[in-house]
C-alpha cells in the first residue's frame, strides 16, 4: 500500500473512531446523563469511586478513555476500576475468560513517514508528523481468571471523614486567589481569582467541592498556566467548550480525591450537544484538556498540608 493510500485509510479510521466516540457521548447526553458523572454508591455502581488504571503498569487512563471505561464499569457492573490487555493478563499468569467482550479504548500519537523525513532533510526544514488514533481492547480484571490476588481486590471505599479536609488542603496548596463568598461561583480571568459561595449555600454541601474544582479548572487554563482560550462569551461555542473541559476536569479531580457529588449542569447539555454535533473531535479534545487540567491541580497535592483550618471568611459565609 502506498504512503498516500495508507494516510487516506488512516484518516478514514480516525474519522470513524471520532464519530463512534462522539455518537456514544451524544446518546448519553440526549438521555440526560453526563457520562463523566457516574452514580457511584448506588445499586448501579458496584465499583468504588476511582480513576481507571492499567493493572499491569499502574498507570491511570486519561482523556476520553476515562469516560469510556467509567461507562463500561457502570454498564457491566464491574467491581473494580482496573484493566488489562489480553497479553498483559497472560503475562501476569492469568487469562481473559472465554466469551468475555473487551472495551475499546484509544491511543493518540504522531509519526513521521520515511519519505517525509528524507524530504525534510533535503530541504533543511522540519518534517511534518501525521497524527493517528489507534484503537485497542482492554478487559476489566473482573473478566479475568488466575490473576494475582492483589490485582483483583477492589480498593476500599474512601473514608468520608478524610475527604473534605483533603479537598480543602488541595485548594490551599494551589495558592490560587480563592474566595468563599457571594451568591455566584465563577473564575475571573481579568482578576485571576476564583469565587465560590459558602457550603451552606448548597442543598447538599458535598456539591460545594464539585463547584470549587470546576472553577479551579477554569483557573488552571489561564495564560500563565495551561494557556487555554478563556475568551468565549456566555452562550458562544467557545464558552461551551471551556465549560465542558471544566466540568470533566472537576469530575476527574473529585474522583481522584474520593468525592461523590451530584450533577447539576443539566442546563449546559443543550450547548454541549451543539458543539459535539458540529465537531466529532470536540469531546476527545475536551477530555484531553480536562485530564491536563485535573493533573495540573492534583500535582499540588504532594505538598498540601494534611489538615487545614477553615478561614474566618469560610466560617462566617
Give the per-residue pLDDT at 17.
82
- Please give the full DSSP string across the chain, using - where no structure is assigned: --HHHHHHHHHHHHHHHHHHHHHHHHHHHHTT--TTS--TTSTT--SPS---EETTT-PBP-THHHHHHHHHHHHHT-S--EEE-HHHHHHTT-EEPTT---EEEEEEEEE--HHHHHHHHHHTSPPPPEEEEEEEEEEEGGGEES--HHHHSPPPPP-HHHHHHHHHHHHHHHT--EEE-SS--EEETTTTEEEE--GGGSSSTTHHHHHHHHHHHHHHTSTTTT-----PPTTSHHHHHHHHHHHHHHHHHHHHHT--PPP-GGGGHHHHHHHHHH-TTHHHHHHHHHHHHHHHHHGGGGG--S--PPPHHHHH-
Q: Are 214 and 246 in contact (CB under 8 A)?
A: yes
First to last CA, the chain: 67
Q: Where are the chain's structural domains?
A: 3-152, 160-316
Q: pLDDT at position 220, please? A: 97
Flag residues of the chain having pLDDT under 50: 1-10, 157-163, 303-317
Give the residues across from 84 on adjacent strands. 139
What is the predicted pLDDT for the residue at 226? 97
What pLDDT shows up at residue 3?
41
Cell triple for residue 36? 463523566
Burial string for 73-83 (b: 16+ CB within 10 Å, else e) reads: bbeeebebbbb
Amino acid at each position: 500500500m502506498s504512503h498516500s493510500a495508507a494516510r487516506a485509510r488512516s484518516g478514514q479510521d480516525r474519522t470513524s473512531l471520532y464519530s463512534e466516540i462522539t455518537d456514544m457521548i451524544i446518546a448519553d447526553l440526549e438521555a440526560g446523563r453526563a457520562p463523566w458523572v457516574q452514580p457511584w454508591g448506588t445499586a448501579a455502581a458496584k465499583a468504588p469511586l476511582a480513576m481507571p488504571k492499567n493493572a499491569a503498569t499502574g498507570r491511570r487512563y486519561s482523556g476520553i478513555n476515562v469516560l469510556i471505561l467509567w461507562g463500561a464499569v457502570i454498564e457491566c457492573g464491574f467491581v473494580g476500576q482496573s484493566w488489562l490487555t489480553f497479553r498483559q493478563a497472560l503475562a501476569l499468569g492469568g487469562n481473559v475468560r472465554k466469551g468475555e467482550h473487551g472495551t475499546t479504548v484509544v491511543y493518540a500519537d504522531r509519526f513521521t513517514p520515511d519519505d517525509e523525513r528524507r524530504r525534510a532533510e533535503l530541504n533543511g526544514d522540519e518534517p511534518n508528523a501525521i497524527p493517528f488514533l489507534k484503537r485497542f481492547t482492554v478487559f476489566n480484571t473482573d473478566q479475568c481468571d488466575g490473576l494475582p490476588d492483589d490485582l483483583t481486590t477492589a480498593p476500599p471505599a474512601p473514608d468520608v471523614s478524610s475527604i473534605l479536609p483533603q479537598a480543602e488542603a488541595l485548594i490551599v496548596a494551589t495558592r490560587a486567589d480563592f474566595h468563599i463568598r457571594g451568591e455566584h461561583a465563577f473564575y475571573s480571568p481579568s482578576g485571576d481569582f476564583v469565587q465560590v459561595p459558602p457550603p451552606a449555600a448548597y442543598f447538599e454541601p458535598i456539591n460545594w467541592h464539585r463547584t470549587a474544582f470546576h472553577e479551579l479548572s477554569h483557573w488552571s487554563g489561564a495564560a500563565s498556566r495551561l494557556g487555554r482560550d478563556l475568551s468565549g462569551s456566555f452562550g458562544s461555542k467557545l464558552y461551551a467548550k471551556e465549560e465542558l473541559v471544566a466540568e470533566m476536569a472537576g469530575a476527574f479531580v473529585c474522583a481522584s480525591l474520593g468525592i461523590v457529588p451530584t450533577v447539576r449542569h443539566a442546563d449546559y447539555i443543550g450547548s454541549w450537544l451543539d458543539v459535539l454535533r458540529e465537531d466529532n473531535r470536540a469531546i476527545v479534545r475536551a477530555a484531553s484538556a480536562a485530564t491536563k487540567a485535573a493533573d495540573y491541580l492534583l500535582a499540588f497535592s504532594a505538598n498540601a498540608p494534611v489538615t487545614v483550618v477553615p478561614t474566618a471568611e469560610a466560617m462566617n459565609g
